[in-house]
Every structure is written in C-alpha cells, then in structure tokens.
Amino acid sequence: MKLELGNIFIRDIRFDSVSKVEKGILFVNADELRDHLLEDENIKSVSLEIARPGESIRILPVKDVIEPRVKVQGSGGIFPGILSKVSTVGSGRTHVLKGAAVVTTGKIVGFQEGIIDMSGPGADYTPFSKLNNLVVVCEPVDGLKQYAHEKAVRLAGLKAAAYLGKLAKDVEPDEVKVYETPSLKEGIEKYPDLPRVAYVQMLQTQGLLHDTYVYGLDMKHSLPTMLYPTELMDGAVVSGNCVSACDKNTTYHHLNNPVVHDLFAKHGTELNFVGVIITNENVYLADKERSSDWSAKLAEFFGVDGVIISQEGFGNPDTDLIMNCKKIEAKGIKTVIITDEYAGRDGASQSLADADASADAVVTAGNANMLVSLPPMEKVIGHPEVANVIAGGFEGSLQQDGTIVVELQAITGATNELGFNKLSAR
C-alpha cells in the first residue's frame, strides 16, 4: 500500500469572508463553518477562536486536536467509518495543512481535561502551542446525555478539520512525501537481509472519554488486528479520550504518529517495517489476557525479529503493556516499550504499576506527576475553573491572578507515549 502525503505549510490563520488557502495562510469564513457545525441538533452553540504560536492564550479543557487533511486520490475519505463511508484508506494521495490544527473545547461531561498554553513555560510542554489553531468552542443543548455530548463534540472537531482540509484539495503542496508498505511476501523478497520490525500500538478503550475508534468501531469491542501504517495517516484511528491529557493520543497524534514516521525513515535501509498491530486496553482482566495473547500471536505470525510497543495512558494499562511485552518476548521477539512515569512529585516512587524482567528496553516520556506553574494569560478560551478538578489539578490549582499550578499530567500531550515531544532531560 502506497500513500503520497502532500504537505502545504501554513504560517498563519485568519478569519475572512471566504474560506481558502493562499500563500501559506489559512482563511476561515467563521459563519459558514459555524452553520455547518450547528447542523448537529445536539449542539446549542458554537464559537470559533484563533490561537497562534506565541500569543498570550490558554485553552482548557481541551478535548481533541485534529490536523486538517483531505483525500485527493485513492479510495475512501478522511476519517472513514465516521465522516466518510467505511472504505479502506491509506493509498493514493492526501493533502495536509501542515502547521494548522482544530482544537475542540467546551464544558464536557464534567471531567474533560487538558491545557494548551500558546506561550510561556506551559507552551514548551505541549506540541500544539506551535500550531496555528482554530479553536472550536461547543456547548450542547440542555439535558444532553454524557455519551451523546462526547460524541457531538468529537464529531464537531472532525467535521471542522474536514471542512478546512477540503480547502487544500486543489492547492499545490510545498512538499510531497511517499510512504509504501509491501505485502509480507514482497517485503521478504525485497529485503531478505533486513531485520523485520512491527509496531504494536496500544489504544485506550476504557469507557466514556477513554475510548478510541478504528474505522468508526469502538476498539474495546475488537480483537487486536493489523493496519497498514498509511491507514493511520488518513484518519483510520480517531481519539475519543482526553482524561489525564498528558499521555492520551489526540487524533493529531494518530495522524502524525512519530513511531510510524521514524520506522518509515529506516524502512528499506536499516530494517523492514512490516506493519502496525493495533490492540486495546480494556477494563476486564480476561480482555487484557486475550488481547495480549492475540498481539503476540500476530507478531509471531508476521515473523518479525523485533517489535516496538507504545502504551496509551497509565495505571491499569501498565499491565496490558507488560503482558504485551512479556508474551511477545516469550515468542523470541525482541521488544522495546514506550511509556511514561507516575513516580510522585519527587520522582522517587515506582514509575509503573506493573513490571517484568523481560521489559529490559524502555523509553520514557517523562514523569507526569511533576508540578508546573503556569502564569496567567491575557485570554482564556474555555473554562479556567476546571483546573481545580481535572487530573493533575487540585483545590487551589487556579489562583486569584489566573496562575494555574498543576501536575504535568494536565497538559495536553506533555508526556505522550508515542514520543511526540521534543523536550528531553539530557
């Protein structure tokens, strides 16, 4: 399967009377987009805001971040099974508004989470401070049930991103990158001497605001399966989770998965990137056992020499992580796990809830318990008072002058376990 990604670099975003992309500037007709989103009868109001890198703006609570993309050639459409019909994506050509994003916020279900600061010390911890963001503030109709509310805001974000993505359809990209995955047989013939490597991506599937969707299917109801890596780039996997926002994968992360991109960079020279095994993180022990059995079985069947496993979230998913690692190692396949740590504010406590001797190659994305102080911003989009109740926050987190003192886990993407961030402790 072969996909061309045409990147169109966006350096600014502005409201205008006509939505278009011109000379690296994304113009948005706010009325037109608002009307489009208000077609959902579950949404009472939508307001649109712009947040650019370096501005004194704080966004919270953040539900999702989505990169605008559009299918230009090939089967299916962006976000198949959700916005587009179920049809296999990942081939042909896709255009990307690189440097732009849609951020969704609104008071959702009482415990939606995530902070994005566009400047100041908090901006260093989230990759989304570097993007030209269109912030979609959605409020539901009165009395809307929690699950319907979550779905309405999830869809609003995807729709807004698809609306912007369509503007890129006839724009000449600034660069075109090609990603190709051969079939198992072709891969073995083409790269007989290269080590075969698969990527096991664990997806959060634990209930309301902790779910992930694959071609529209709630992944908790699926057994582990495989994807061509390029399917991810066309929105085959969509985020429905944001609680303890530091280590949850937004839809933006799935579209731009750095494990996939780094493996592609070495594909054909240092290794043979065979494909992606996706698995879930369910709340029943039997599910955890079954799913990890399955991911190990798939890795064995693909005949790989090594596997990279990324976790999503922390706590009980640490057990899914260790089960995957242990069972895949038991097949004689080398593993590296990517995780983060909850080691207490002083970093002295045990980092993971579970452990095993076979987990001897570990990449950490940082300690989510670390306290950070986020100075006040001139403008807050959303609801600042939630700082006191979100994971990582506590009574008194929001101070009189607007300063927020929280654990790192409250910041969207701060310890992302796909390794999306650039900060290091070296």
Partner 1 sequence: MVKEIERAGLPVVHMCTVVPISLTVGANRIVPTVAIPHPLGNPALSIEEEKELRRKLIDKALKALTTEVEEQTVFEQ
Site for partner 1 in 288-317 (CB under 8 A): 288, 316
DSSP state of 142: T
ω into 376 cis (within 30 of 0): no
Query: Alpha-carbon Rg of the chain, whole angstroms?
Result: 21
**CB nearer to partner 1: pick between 188 and 353:** 353
Cα distances (Å, whole numbers) of residue 344 to 260, 262, 369, 409: 31, 31, 5, 12
Binding test (CB under 8 A) with partner 1, winner from 24, 207, 306, 376: 207
Binder of partner 1 out of 86, 178, 265, 285 (CB under 8 A): 285
- Closer by beta carbon to partner 1, 196 or else 210: 210
Does 323 bind partner 1 (CB under 8 A)? Our answer is: yes
Q: Does 283 bind partner 1 (CB under 8 A)?
A: yes
Give the shortest CB-281-to-partner 1 separation in angstroms. Answer: 10
Out of 126, 206, 272, 339, point to the residue binding partner 1 (CB under 8 A): 206
Q: How far is the CB of 109 from partner 1 (least distance, A)?
A: 15
d(CA 216, CA 237): 8
Nearer to partner 1 by Cβ, of 171 and 208: the residue is 208
Applying CB under 8 A, the site for partner 1 has a residue count of 14
Find the helix or strand (DSSP H, E) in which 159 lies.
helix 146-166
Two structure tokens written together for 142: 């009165």
The one-letter code for the residue type at 41 is E
Write phi, then psi, for 15 (nearest 5 degrees).
Answer: -80, 145
Q: Of the candidates 132, 319, 335, 351, which one interacts with partner 1 according to CB under 8 A?
A: 319
Counting Cα atoms < 13 Å in the Cβ hemisphere of 60 gives: 36
What distance in Å separates the CA atoms of residue 386 and residue 395, rounded to the nearest whole number?
Answer: 10
The residues annotated as belonging to the active site are 242
- Interatomic CA distance for residues 7 and 175, integer angstroms: 5
Least distance in angstroms from the C-beta of 319 to partner 1? 5
Task: Single out the segment in contact with partner 1 by CB under 8 A; choices: 10-18, 166-174, 279-287, 405-413.
Answer: 279-287
Query: Which residues sit opposite 280 in a β-bridge?
Result: 203
The answer to the question of residue 354 lying near partner 1 (CB under 8 A) is yes
* Binder of partner 1 out of 141, 223, 271, 353 (CB under 8 A): 353
Smallest distance, partner 1 to C-beta of residue 45, A: 32
Q: Could you say whether residue 318 binds partner 1 (CB under 8 A)?
A: yes
- SS3 of 185, please? helix
Residue 412 has a CB neighbour count (10 Å cut-off) of 30
- Is residue 330 within the footprint of partner 1 (CB under 8 A)? no
Question: Which CB, 318 or 329, lies closer to partner 1?
Answer: 318
Cβ closest to partner 1, residue 91 vs residue 295: 295
Rounded-to-integer distance, Cα 313 and Cα 210, Å: 9
Q: Which residues contact 44 (CB under 8 A, 6 or more apart)?
A: 139, 140, 141, 142
Q: Which two tokens stand for residue 356?
A: 């095993």
The nearest distance, CB 285 to partner 1, in angstroms, is 6
Which residue in 72, 83, 217, 355 binds partner 1 (CB under 8 A)? 355
Chain centroid offset of residue 275 CA: 19
User: Is residue 205 within the footprint of partner 1 (CB under 8 A)?
Assistant: no
Q: Which positions touch partner 1 (CB under 8 A)? A: 206-207, 283-285, 288, 316, 318-319, 322-323, 353-355
